[in-house]
Amino acid sequence: MNRAFILIALITLAGCSHKQPAAAPAKAIAFGSAMVESSGGKQIAPAGTLLPQPVVVQVNDEQGNPVTGSAVEFSGPHGVVFDPANGTTDSSGQLTTNVTLGNGAGRYELVATTYDKSHKRIDLKLQEIALDYQQGLGLKLNQHYCERCHNSESTPERVSNLDNLDVKPHAFTDGDYLNKMTNDDLTSIISHGGPALNQSPQMPPYGYTLSKSEIQALLAYIRAIADPPGFGGGLTYVQR
Amino acid sequence: MKGKLLRLWRQLFGNSIQAFGVVSLVLLVLLAIAPAKNHFSEWRHYQHSYLHLIRDRSDALTLRRHFQGGIQQIWLPELQVVDRCTTCHVGLKENSLVDVTEQPFTKHPVIPHKLDEFGCVVCHRGQGPATTVSEAHYSTLAWEQPVLPTKYIQSSCGQCHQDDLPGAPLLKEGRQLLAESGCLHCHTVQLHGIALQPTDAPPPLTDIADKTTREWIYAWMKDPQAYAMTAKMPNFKLTDDEARDISAFLIADSTPLQADTLTLSQKSGDPTAGASLYGESFCATCHAVQNAAGNVVGGNIGPELTRVGNKVKPEWLQAWLQNPRVYDSGTAMPHYRFNDQQLATLSGFLMAKSDSDLLSNVHLDPATAEQIKHGRLLVMNYGCASCHQINGIKKPENFAPDLSRIGSKPINQLLFLQGMPHTLPDYISGKIKTPRAFAAGLKMPQFTFTPEQIDALTTALLSFDDRSRTLPLSVMVAHAGDSNYEPAGKAGQLMKDLACFSCHRINGRGGDLAPDLSLEGSAVQRPWLEAFLKSPTTLRPALIRRMPKFNLSDSEIHELSDYIMTVYQSPAIDRDSMPLSGYSAGQVEQGKQLFYSKYGCQACHIVDPKADKGYIGPTLTAVGSRMNAAWIYAWLKDPQALRPGSMEPKWQMSDDNARALTAYLMSLKGSTKQVAKK
């Protein structure tokens, strides 16, 4: 009687459990002594969405050579999803994961963890930025109107104009400079051009082209991506 | 046992007074259940926590004043919204709570709609009237609509907005992918009575034997992406025998075209000449090629050409290059006017683009009648005719499930893969990711979408839900859509032949690669237009996709110029209202000052190639021989009015300044030598 009861209870419990068994952590066959970021840090994506590029980390030994087969585990604040969440490094010592950010806008601190020979924990921290609706709109406006001059990175599809200007425009990530400017200052220079703040006329006025809410969106975006973060730089989510 | 119970009974109900007391007590406890349940409810707990949270803040007084206890409700009968979410999510409208991350107390991010006008579930789904966390957020037996993951939130914009929203890029991408990846050839999507139309045009296979070999068809069908990394055709995971039989059928079913059979010398000419002709003709504007580093470089309007030599027959290629419209009247490829020498050079260059490994393992015995018959059966079974025109096979109707309401598909009608979360978004994205994994014998092919593209497609599909059908028409925003504008007459024929609409937009129809030409007649001077059509030059320094040289005849150029100059005009601009030259030196000088100092135009434009470096706008060295003065003036006053979305901002320029700048720009005629050369 008792045994049957336990059996039923077990079956019921098993049936109720919706949780998936957590994937078994990858087994390490080699150990490194340091971990570096190969690519994928400091990316910007709308909250809750996939980062445009995967995050790639690399495990190295003492000599700085890549280590194949060491186990790496990714973790992050609540809501962040890694695909895959863990694995072993490939022949070039790297592990790649696709990252979906959490639902709130702000900075997300991601951690990649591996262990060295003596089981000492090695953590690598990366930061990604999630944008809310308004900031995402600002990102789009930036791509259309601003970044040809304000971003020094050139691609064949989008050649940067930054180096062609007499006074080099500040990158929107330039927190050291932009954090000192008030919202009113930024709004003013976007709306009325460089001369509004006694700066280069090569920054044209966009106040008659963009609507008030569009300029606000742009401002929200600039504040969201400042590095280092400034006022209104938003929240930083770290793992609890 | 029995004796014990009897004793208890006697103790409780021994006499009537005692019995009355006990019954009253039980009744009291029963009566207290409801108020106790209310008192210990989740929402009360959250409201208490909220008050606790705001107690020590500097803005506590304001927040306390805004706070309303009890069950809160947003009731919008028109939208069928009864949302009590704000009962627990108390801080949604409090902008000062920007630093709070703890749910349910965060503030709502800034969006274009007011919470009180749309409620919560219109965008977030979930169960609005519920007052417990689990009933509101998750699916229950009685309610299957869980809260939508933020990842797909843009799908909710798509319930009302059929137009493209700048703030919903994922939705836009998903809709685009849906239309151009072939989904709509098999699946139907009806929105408010209008069926969505695919924008891609898979090639007809009616004369495929003219174009390619059975071996190539075999290899292609086995793995399209092995031939071209960017190939759009999905992988049908055919067995060797299936690919053998389908290729046998397609070749046997093909009927030769009555096209001119070219008898060109097969001498390919030298490869450097071929490469430079490929470059000059700006083939790369539409076609991509994989370079040595493995990167695919070039446009995506036409197919990738990395291994085109493995695919096409040389005589077909030459005939195609001579006039593609003979083979496919709707092709996006322009009809270049190549001479025989050029045809031989270019086709030789392209035929050399091949990979000896691609077909080396394909050895097919001659097709038997049996195989051809079986191939036909397979073609019908896989629905090939949904996308491709095939002789003797009709496009199947309703070949794949209708997706018009996929966004509200009940979960109990879905079959999930093992280990997959039981939610609709997970089902849809899983189905796009690995369609054949869901059951044996499924026909949907394997696509090569990136994870981001799968999210985009899922977002678009989730927007086709029941709510979008029940919302009042007053909140619907229609999609403008492409017009079906057709230019008239001989010039119209010519424009069709040159496939102008593949890149240019005119009167609401056409591509967005090149400038909109709807007002071109007002903008440019006729001699410049004629010279440009004869030998297109690049106006923007940093452009890599450029206008090809079509080798037009003089009479064709006249025909086109006549049409453009007379038909494509803005009613607001009188071309003759300002002269093309003869501005006073003083005015020109004043304009130059304004150009370089006040407006800093050299930031984006080049007038003096030695001094100016601006890479963004068109080069203006000879703008006085290119544009009309009246256009320049109107442009300076309001660029967006002439070309919406132009990067050049509106300057709020005074009439005097605009006139002076126009005078200066019109004085820039370019070197006479340059003009003569054109």
Do B615 and A202 make contact, defined as CB atoms within 8 angstroms? no
Whether the predicted model's global pTM rises above the 0.80 cut: yes
CATH superfamily placement of domain A20-131: Immunoglobulins (2.60.40.10)
Do A164 and B603 make contact, defined as CB atoms within 8 angstroms? yes
Residue spans of the domains in chain A: they are: 20-131, 133-237
Q: What is the pLDDT of residue B264?
A: 55
Nearest CA in chain B to A100: B151
Q: Of A50, A204, A234, which has the smallest distance from its Cβ to B452's Cβ?
A: A50
Tell me the average pLDDT across B19-33. Answer: 92
Q: What is the pLDDT of residue B462?
A: 96
Do B170 and A49 make contact, defined as CB atoms within 8 angstroms? yes
B580 close to B628: Cβ distance less than 8 angstroms: yes
Residue among B411, B647, B654, B657 with most chain A CBs within 10 A, to mutate:
B647
Q: Kindly report the number of other CB atoms within 10 A of residue B235's CB atom.
A: 17
Do B109 and A132 make contact, defined as CB atoms within 8 angstroms? yes
Quote the CA–CA distance of B578 and B118 in Å, as a whole number. Answer: 52
Tell me the average pLDDT across B402-429. Answer: 91
CATH 2.60.40.420 spans which residues of chain B?
161-199+399-475
What tokens does A122 get? 């090695």
Do A208 and B651 make contact, defined as CB atoms within 8 angstroms? yes
Residues A86-113 have pLDDT tens digits of 999 999 999 999 999 998 899 999 999 9
Burial class (CB in 10 A: 0-12, 13-18, 19+), B170: buried
Residues B38-74 have pLDDT tens digits of 888 899 999 999 999 999 888 889 999 999 989 999 9
Nearest CA in chain B to A216: B110
Residues of B in contact with A235 (CB under 8 A): 98-99, 101
Residue among A148, A209, A218 with most chain B CBs within 10 A, to mutate:
A209
Model confidence at B145, pLDDT cuts 50, 70, 90, reads confident
Residues B499-513 have pLDDT tens digits of 999 999 999 999 888
Collapsed DSSP state (helix, strand, coil) of residue B6: helix
Q: Of A20, A137, A148, which has the smallest distance from its Cβ to B166's Cβ?
A: A137
Q: Topology of B161-199+399-475 in CATH?
A: Immunoglobulin-like (2.60.40)
In chain A, residues 33-62 whose CB comes closer than 8 Å to chain B: 46-50, 52
Nearest CA in chain A to B104: A104
Q: Of B169, B451, B650, which has the smallest distance from its Cβ to A50's Cβ?
A: B451
Model confidence at A24, pLDDT cuts 50, 70, 90, reads low
Quote the CA–CA distance of A159 and B40 in Å, as a whole number. Answer: 62
Residues B456-474 have pLDDT tens digits of 999 999 999 998 888 888 8
Residues of A in contact with B647 (CB under 8 A): 144-145, 148
Q: Topology of B208-378 in CATH?
A: Cytochrome Bc1 Complex; Chain D, domain 2 (1.10.760)
Written out in words, the top-level CATH class of the domain with range B575-677 is mainly alpha
Q: What is the pLDDT of residue B265?
A: 53
Q: Is the pLDDT of residue B4 over 60?
A: yes
Do B613 and A164 make contact, defined as CB atoms within 8 angstroms? yes
Calculate the average pLDDT of chain B.
90
* A201 near B CB under 8 A: yes
Quote the CA–CA distance of A214 and B86 in Å, as a whole number. Answer: 28
Quote the CA–CA distance of A221 and B675 in Å, as a whole number. Answer: 46
Residues of A in contact with B648 (CB under 8 A): 204
Residues B83-142 have pLDDT tens digits of 999 999 999 999 888 888 888 999 999 999 999 999 999 999 999 999 899 999 988 777
Do A148 and B616 make contact, defined as CB atoms within 8 angstroms? yes
Name the minimum distance, in Å, from the CA of B582 to any CA of chain A. Answer: 29
Q: What is the pLDDT of residue B263?
A: 57
Residues B260-319 have pLDDT tens digits of 555 555 555 677 888 999 988 889 989 999 988 888 888 889 999 999 999 999 889 988
Residues B168-208 have pLDDT tens digits of 999 999 999 999 999 999 999 998 888 899 988 899 999 99
Percent of chain B's residues with pLDDT above 90: 62
A121 close to A214: Cβ distance less than 8 angstroms: no
- CA contacts within 13 A on the Cβ side of B230: 20
Q: Is the pLDDT of residue A9 over 50?
A: no
State how far the alpha carbon of A84 is from the alpha carbons of A96, B293, B300, B375, B474, in Å. Answer: 8, 28, 31, 41, 45
Collapsed DSSP state (helix, strand, coil) of residue A134: helix
Residue among B95, B98, B101 with most chain A CBs within 10 A, to mutate:
B101
Residues of A in contact with B640 (CB under 8 A): 209
In the block, residue with structure tokens 């340091």? A34
Collapsed DSSP state (helix, strand, coil) of residue A126: strand
Q: Of A140, A165, A209, which has the smallest distance from its Cβ to B649's Cβ?
A: A209
Tell me the average pLDDT across A21-38. Answer: 78
In chain A, residues 215-234 whose CB comes closer than 8 Å to chain B: 220, 232, 234
CATH 1.10.760.10 spans which residues of chain B?
208-378, 489-567, 575-677
Do B151 and A134 make contact, defined as CB atoms within 8 angstroms? no
Calculate the average pLDDT of chain A.
86
Cα–Cα nearest to B540, from A157, A167, A206? A157
Burial B31-43, CB ≥16 within 10 A → b, else e: eeeeeeeeeeebb
Do B167 and A202 make contact, defined as CB atoms within 8 angstroms? no
Model confidence at B654, pLDDT cuts 50, 70, 90, reads very high
Q: What is the pLDDT of residue A7?
A: 47
Quote the CA–CA distance of B270 and A86 in Å, as a whole number. Answer: 54
Quote the CA–CA distance of B287 and B284 in Å, as a whole number. Answer: 5
Q: Of A52, A164, A201, which has the smallest distance from its Cβ to B598's Cβ?
A: A201
* Residues of B contacting chain A (CB within 8 angstroms): 98-99, 101, 106, 109-112, 149-151, 153, 166-167, 169-170, 297, 419, 451-452, 455, 542, 544, 597-600, 602-604, 613-616, 640, 645, 647-652
Residues A180-222 have pLDDT tens digits of 999 999 999 999 999 999 999 999 999 999 999 999 999 999 9
Q: What is the pLDDT of residue B243?
A: 96
- The phi and psi torsions of A46 (rounded to 5 degrees) equal -60, 145
Range B489-567: architecture per CATH = Orthogonal Bundle (1.10)
Q: What is the pLDDT of residue B512?
A: 87
Close Cβ partners of B614 (under 8 Å, ≥ 6 residues apart): A161, A164, B601, B602, B603, B604, B605, B606
Do A145 and B647 make contact, defined as CB atoms within 8 angstroms? yes
Q: Over A175-228, what HEC string results? A: HHHHCCCCHHHHHHHHHHCHHHHCCCCCCCCCCCCCCHHHHHHHHHHHHHHCEC
Residues of B in contact with A47 (CB under 8 A): 109, 150
Instruction: Select from 3.40.50.1860, 1.10.760.10, 3.10.580.10, 3.40.50.970 the CATH code of A133-237.
Output: 1.10.760.10
Nearest CA in chain B to A18: B421
Do A134 and B110 make contact, defined as CB atoms within 8 angstroms? yes
DSSP-assigned states of every residue in A50-86: B-SS-EEEEEE-TTS-B-TT-EEEEE-STT-EEESSE
Name the minimum distance, in Å, from the CA of B677 to any CA of chain A. Answer: 29
What tokens does B56 get? 């020590």
What tokens does B150 get? 């933020």
Across A225-234, B21-30, B597-606, least confident range: A225-234
Q: What is the pLDDT of residue B672?
A: 53
Tell me the average pLDDT across B236-258. Answer: 92
Looking at chain B, the number of H-run helices and the number of E-run strands are: 32, 8
- Judge whether A20-131 and A133-237 match in fold: no
Quote the CA–CA distance of B530 and B536 in Å, as a whole number. Answer: 10
Residues of A in contact with B451 (CB under 8 A): 50, 83, 98
Q: What is the pLDDT of residue A18?
A: 45
Residues B656-671 have pLDDT tens digits of 999 999 999 999 998 7
Q: Is the pLDDT of residue B535 over 90?
A: no
Residue among A53, A137, A152 with most chain B CBs within 10 A, to mutate:
A137
Residues of B in contact with A105 (CB under 8 A): 109
Cα–Cα nearest to B662, from B573, B581, B571? B581
* A82 near B CB under 8 A: no
Do B650 and A144 make contact, defined as CB atoms within 8 angstroms? no
